[in-house]
Amino acid sequence: MFSRAMWGMSAAVWLVVAVLWCVMWGWPAVFVVVVFALLPDIALVGAFEERGRLKPSRVAFYNLMHSVAVPAALIAGGFIVMLLTGGLANGHWGIALAGLAWFVHIAADRVFGFGPRAEDGTIAPLA
């Protein structure tokens, strides 16, 4: 299990990579990063039962959207697509960049203490 410091270092490294890719690929890449960096928090829309606690019926969706497995699969699949379609210079980079932005969001959440939610909707403590 990663500590908050490890999540912070990971978020920082991959944020730099995402910014460099945005510089390389331009405004379409910026759009992908912004959309997919905000996407995990769609689970919070209308989900709060009271301050700091989600409705129990929304916990599973929140935890899925904040699971590292989902962006990791996008990153892996996206890199395969990118390599098969021309690599970094000419390949289709959108899927990998989307996964990367999503991962950075999750890592940043972990840095600030927002981990998966317990069944009652409260934040489960992180190391």
In the DSSP assignment, the letter for residue 94 is: H
Read off the pLDDT of each residue in 8-29 and give the average, rounded to a whole number: 95
Report if pTM > 0.85: yes
35 or 44: which carries more pLDDT confidence? 35
Residue 120: inside a domain, yes or no? no
- Indicate if the alpha-carbon torsion angle 51, 106, 71, 127 is positive or negative: negative
pLDDT number for residue 127: 57
R_g of the chain, CA atoms, integer Å: 16
Q: What is the mean pLDDT of the chain?
A: 91
Read off the pLDDT of each residue in 70-83 and give the average, rounded to a whole number: 95
Residue 127: inside a domain, yes or no? no
Residue 17: inside a domain, yes or no? yes
Could you tell me the pLDDT band of residue 46, with boundaries at 50, 70 and 90? Answer: confident
Number of domains the chain is built from: 1
Residue 100: inside a domain, yes or no? yes
Domain that holds residue 47: 4-111
Could you tell me the pLDDT band of residue 1, with boundaries at 50, 70 and 90? Answer: low
Residue 124: inside a domain, yes or no? no
91 φ/ψ angles, rounded to the nearest 5 degrees:
-75, 170
